[in-house]
C-alpha cells in the first residue's frame, strides 16, 4: 500500500511541475535509466564470465585454476558496475536537503532501486573475491 501511495505522490508532484521542469526530469530519468541499464549489462557479464572463460580454457590448465582466474574478471566487471551504480545514485539522490520538487520526484522514484543495486553490486564483488581467492578449492570440493 505504501508503494502505491509513493507512486501516487510522485504522479502528483510531476503533474504540478512546469513544462521545463518536466523536461528536465524526463532527461534526468533517461540518463539514470541508461546508467542502470549499463549496470545490468556489467553485472550480467560478471556473473556469466566464468562460463565464457571455461569455453576458452587452455588444454593444459586445470578447471579449478581457470575458475579461480575468472574471479578476477568478476571483480573487475562488478567494480565497473559499481561506477555506474554510483553515477545513477548521484543523479537521482541529492546529498543536500533539497526541497525542489524535481529532486523529490527523482529521490522518490529511485531511492529504493539504488539501494538494491548498490547491495547487489557489493554482493557480486564479494562473490568474485571469494572465487578469485578460493575458486580452485571450490571446484575440487564440488568436482
**Total-model pTM:** 0.84
Per-residue pLDDT of the chain (143 residues; tens, 9 = 90+): 455 666 678 888 888 888 888 888 899 999 999 999 999 999 999 999 988 888 888 888 888 888 888 999 999 999 999 999 999 999 888 766 556 788 888 888 999 999 999 999 999 999 999 999 998 898 888 87
Nearest to 15 by CA among 97, 105, 106: 105
Q: Report the length, in residues, of the chain.
A: 143
How would you label 114-129 residue by residue, b for 16+ Cβ within 10 Å and e otherwise?
Answer: beebbebbeebbebbe
**Residue with cell string 568474485:** 128
Amino acid at each position: 500500500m505504501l508503494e502505491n501511495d509513493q507512486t501516487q505522490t510522485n504522479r502528483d508532484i510531476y503533474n504540478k511541475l512546469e513544462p521545463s521542469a518536466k523536461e528536465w526530469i524526463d532527461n534526468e530519468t533517461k540518463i539514470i535509466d541508461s546508467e542502470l541499464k549499463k549496470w545490468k549489462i556489467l553485472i550480467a557479464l560478471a556473473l556469466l564470465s566464468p562460463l565464457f572463460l571455461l569455453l576458452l580454457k587452455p588444454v593444459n590448465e586445470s578447471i579449478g585454476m581457470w575458475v579461480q582466474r575468472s574471479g578476477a574478471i568478476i571483480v573487475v566487471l562488478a567494480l565497473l558496475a559499481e561506477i555506474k551504480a554510483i553515477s545513477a545514485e548521484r543523479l537521482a539522490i541529492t546529498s543536500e536537503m533539497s526541497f525542489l520538487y524535481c529532486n523529490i520526484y527523482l529521490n522518490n522514484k529511485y531511492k529504493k532501486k539504488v539501494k538494491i543495486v548498490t547491495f547487489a553490486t557489493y554482493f557480486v564483488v564479494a562473490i568474485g573475491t571469494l572465487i578469485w581467492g578460493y575458486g580452485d578449492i571450490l571446484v575440487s570440493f564440488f568436482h
